[in-house]
Amino acid sequence: MNTYRIALLAGDGIGEEIMAEAVKILGIVSSRHAEIGFELIPAAFGASAWFSTGSCWPAETEELCDAADAILKGTIGLGHTESRQIPPDQSPEKGLLMMRRRYDTFANFRPVYLPGFLAHFSPLRPEIIGDGIDIMIIRELVGGLYFGEKEAGVNTQGLRYAREILEYDENQIHRIVLVAFETARKRRRKLHSIHKSNVLKSSMLWTDIVDEVSVDFPDVEVNHMLVDAAATHLCLRPTEFDVMVMENLFGDILSDQGGGILGSLGLMPSACLGPDKSYYEPSHGSAPDIAGKNIANPYSMIGSVAMMLEMSFGMDREAKNLWQAMQQVFAGGYSTPDISKPGSDITMVSTEEFGDRVVAELTKLPA
Ligand code: IPM
Ligand code: MG
């Protein structure tokens, strides 16, 4: 039997509730595969960890993650008042960046997926969504402004200033661009490289490298698109995108826009892949306003489990089953109050019941 060790970092806000559904799913998956076992190890992370241990990324959590085969993370961050008690340089977001840096998780996959029958979730008109949206946003996750040198202070004119550096070297760009081409090759063979090379030197280098790598992928259609134009295009013609690749900050912004066109970030799981270790997380925050109410949709958390099964454990077929099971629950007319409007013909269910329904659908599919 192959036992995978998974560190569970539920985090803050709705993190615990949606993580409970992920755990439920992992239990079912292992019962469907006698040869696979999961050892699940919960660990403190985020603002709640700061209040209990004095650190958002405690040493003990780091050790557990070091020893794990993969990390499944929930959500981080608390409401404004509580967050203000944590010094900014020790914030949960800082903890998250430390984790990204430690495991060099440079390749962030954020699927923006909406089958035609779920068009009602989206604020876009049905004719824009057509048969459905299926985009893979690939975001560079450990470089650029997020990790560049930073300083702030008072300048020689006595004015407060802040400065941060956007730097990429060719290797950092090359490895993410390569991942994007390889991904496009497995999908619809269309790649949009998103940049701002009419202004930024880092984007000029980025674009050069995309062109260089494209020589080895003659079967993949390459489109260079300015990031501002891409923002518009995502709203007007989302179905024209297949794979999009971009640097860290552009990816942060456009992937949230992707959540917007789906109707909710609650529909966006993600995978953050490093050379030796990967972690999986919903793309959204901890939604403190609805925490503890059993109404948060666990789709992004369960979707992150599906991505982990596929990308870390090679369980491609079970990952597909899991996606299908979730779509079946929606297709059956069930959803949770956080992502659906009351008054439609949708039956509102709780976080837990949504998870139970996914389990029921999964069990119908051959393992
Ligand atoms: C994300 C989040 C993070 C980011 C925050 C929490 C630091 O917005 O994963 O998109 O900016 O990368
Ligand atoms: Mg973000």
Give the model confidence (pLDDT) of 310-337 as tens digits. Answer: 999 999 999 999 999 999 999 999 999 9
The answer to whether 134 is a known catalytic residue is: no
Kindly report the protein residue whose alpha carbon is nearest to atom 10 of ligand 1: 252
pLDDT tens-digit series, residues 13-34: 999 999 999 999 999 999 999 9
Overall pTM > 0.75: yes
Ligand 1 within 6 A of 12 CB? no
Helix ranges restricted to H, the chain? 15-32, 47-53, 59-67, 80-83, 92-102, 126-129, 170-186, 201-214, 227-236, 248-262, 299-311, 316-331, 351-364
The best mutation among 106, 252, 286 to test binding of ligand 1, ranked by most ligand atoms within 8 Å of the C-beta, falls on: 252
Whole-angstrom CA distances from 74 to 113, 125, 139, 228 are 20, 31, 19, 30
Q: Which ligand is nearest to the CA of 99?
A: 1
Residue 171 Cα, ligand 2 centroid: separation in angstroms? Answer: 24
* Residue among 69, 134, 256, 338 flagged as catalytic: 256
Ligand 1 atom closest to the Cα of residue 270 is: 9
Q: Does the pLDDT of residue 1 top 90, yes or no?
A: no
Q: Which ligand is nearest to the CA of 110?
A: 1
160, containing H or E segment: strand 160-164
3-state helix, strand, coil in the chain (%, to 5): 45, 20, 30
What would the mean pLDDT of 99-104 be, rounded to a whole number? 98
pLDDT given for residue 104 in this prediction: 98
Distance between CA 248 and CA 12 in Å, rounded?
24
Environment of ion ligand 2 (residues, CB < 5 A): 252
* Residue among 252, 277, 279, 299 flagged as catalytic: 252
Kindly report the protein residue whose alpha carbon is nearest to atom 12 of ligand 1: 252
What would the mean pLDDT of 134-153 be, rounded to a whole number? 98
Residue 243: pLDDT band with limits 50, 70, 90:
very high
Judge whether 279 and 70 are in contact, CB under 8 Å.
yes
